[in-house]
Amino acid sequence: MDKKYPTILFCFVLLQINLPAQTKQLPAASAKGLTTDMDGNSINAHGAGILKYNNTYYLFGEIKKGKTWLVANQSWEDYRVPAGGISCYSSKDLITWKNEGIAMKSLTGNASNEIDTGRVIERPKVIYNGRTKKFVMWMHINKNDYSLSHAGVAISDKPAGPYTYLESVAPNEQMSRDMTLFKDEDGKAYLIYASENNMTMQICLLNDDYLSPTKNYIRILENQHREAPALFKQNGKYFLITSLCSGWDPNPATYAVANSMMGTWTQKENPCVGSGAETTFNSQSTFVLPIDEKKGQYIFMADKWNKFDLQKSDYLWLPLNITNGQIEIKEN
Ligand code: DGJ
């Protein structure tokens, strides 16, 4: 695993955001925990999401390890790296990260297996089901030529795993590529995914056990060619940050707002401001972590892809603030 080093940026993030009490007392230099785990190894968790459970943050992400190759006969730069499964790291303060090991293993030697290292296993997100007492992970499952486009689901009794892979589905016979999960305050959970050849996003209500899609789904951001969804809520309003589809290359983010998950989503402008806003500061959205919802303070989590050597892709965490219903993400 490659070493990554603390950057001024991460120090900046921690100084700007009202992080949990214990975090505030730590010197800015401790921000290195966001790039390396407590053993000094770089964090390997791409397309990540965070579950907060019992005052602990669990970070889940794609393990990218090995040589990057270009898939033949594609009309776009389809760079791939072996899908090493899903990692998990835990933290009490978002600074010191303990490596919890592999949360969900990928398999080797059978390319027809959906979680083979030669496939696409991306953007894992985990939520907890209070009724079944199970932790449920959803992820993007695909073939290297993107011809499958399914959402995969895995389950565990413990937050850090191990997760047992159950199956993949095309929700309501629809394609599902880049995705995220959202659990609302009423316990309902939703899958949000790029569909229809990445032309249109869809939101689908999951069943009560969160293990399968219901027939209740909507099409949003029609023909807008968006991916990399990151969804959160503030004061009863729902916010959805997405990127344009440009392979591994960065592009301007936009966000959409709605009064209900299955309601009308209104597309807004780029939430990023300042120099670098036109490329989302050279990154692509993956998750938004609530810090203080009442004050409108969140962390915007993104990936800085290195398409020629994907295992060397980096991360970007920035403060995200909501003022008068408008999102603002600034680098400095
Ligand atoms: C952008 C997606 O958001 C990533 O997760 C990955 O699928 C790349 N495209 C592949 O080019």
Atom of ligand 1 nearest to the CA of 79: 11
CA distance 283 to 226: 15
Report whether pLDDT(80) > 50. Answer: yes
The secondary element (H helix, E strand) that includes residue 14 is: helix 8-16
Confidence of residue 34 (pLDDT cuts 50, 70, 90): low
- Cα 193 to averaged position of ligand 1 atoms, centre (Å): 12
Write down the pLDDT at residue 26.
35
Domain boundaries, the chain: 8-330
Helix, strand, or coil (residue 41): coil
Residues comprising the chain, all counted: 332
CA distance 38 to 34: 10
pLDDT tens-digit map of 239-296 = 999 999 999 999 999 999 999 999 999 999 999 999 999 999 999 999 999 999 999 9
**Class of domain 8-330 as given by CATH:** mainly beta
**Position with higher pLDDT, 2 vs 103:** 103
Q: Which two tokens stand for residue 267?
A: 């597309």
Strands 272-273 and 326-330: parallel
Go through 4-18 and write b for each residue having 16 or more CB atoms within 10 A of its CB, e for each that does not.
Answer: bebbebbbbbbeebe
pLDDT tens-digit map of 212-248 = 999 999 999 999 999 999 999 999 999 999 999 999 9
Q: What is the arithmetic mean of pLDDT over 45-64?
A: 97
Atom of ligand 1 nearest to the CA of 120: 7
Write down the pLDDT at residue 122.
98
- Cα 177 to averaged position of ligand 1 atoms, centre (Å): 9
Is 287 in contact with 49 (CB distance < 8 Å)?
A: yes
Distance of CA 213 to the CA centre of its chain: 19
Report whether pLDDT(28) > 80. Answer: no
Strands 79-80 and 69-70: antiparallel
- Cα 305 to averaged position of ligand 1 atoms, centre (Å): 9
Q: What is the pTM of this model?
A: 0.92
Q: In the predicted model, what is the mean pLDDT of the chain? A: 91
Report whether pLDDT(119) > 60. Answer: yes
Residues at CB less than 6 angstroms from ligand 1 = 47, 122-123, 178, 227-228, 247-248, 284
CA distance 192 to 187: 16
Q: Nearest residue CA, atom 9 of ligand 1?
A: 247
